[in-house]
């Protein structure tokens, strides 16, 4: 592999965290919708939805930030 392929691999591995983060936010959404003191869909949308989407996008931010900082090539190993 080359530096570019290692960078692509690291980027996509980091990007895979989006799925569990969104799954956590969906679980939280359904918890708010039906457990204890249920909230309406409109109340959840107005109060929490934007924060839920922002939290779920944190891995995208970290994946993109790793590119210019060359964080995916810090092992200094070369494949020949």
List pLDDT tens digits, range 23-37.
999 998 888 888 767
Structure tokens, 4: 């570019």
Q: Does residue 7 have a pLDDT over 70?
A: yes
Structure tokens, 71: 């964080």
pTM above 0.85, yes or no: no
Closest CA to 25 of 39, 44, 2: 44
3-state secondary structure of 16: coil
Specify the long-range contacts of residues 67-72, CB closer than 8 Å, at least 24 apart: 67/7, 67/11, 70/7, 71/10, 72/6, 72/7, 72/9, 72/10, 72/11, 72/14
pLDDT at 38: 80
């Amino acid at each position: 592999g080359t530096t570019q392929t290692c960078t692509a691999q690291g980027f996509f591995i980091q990007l895979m965290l989006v799925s569990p983060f969104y799954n956590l936010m969906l679980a939280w959404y359904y918890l708010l919708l039906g457990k204890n003191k249920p909230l309406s869909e409109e109340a959840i949308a107005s109060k929490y939805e934007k924060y839920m989407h922002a939290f779920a996008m944190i891995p995208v931010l970290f994946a993109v930030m790793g590119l210019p900082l060359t964080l995916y090539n810090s092992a200094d190993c070369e494949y020949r």
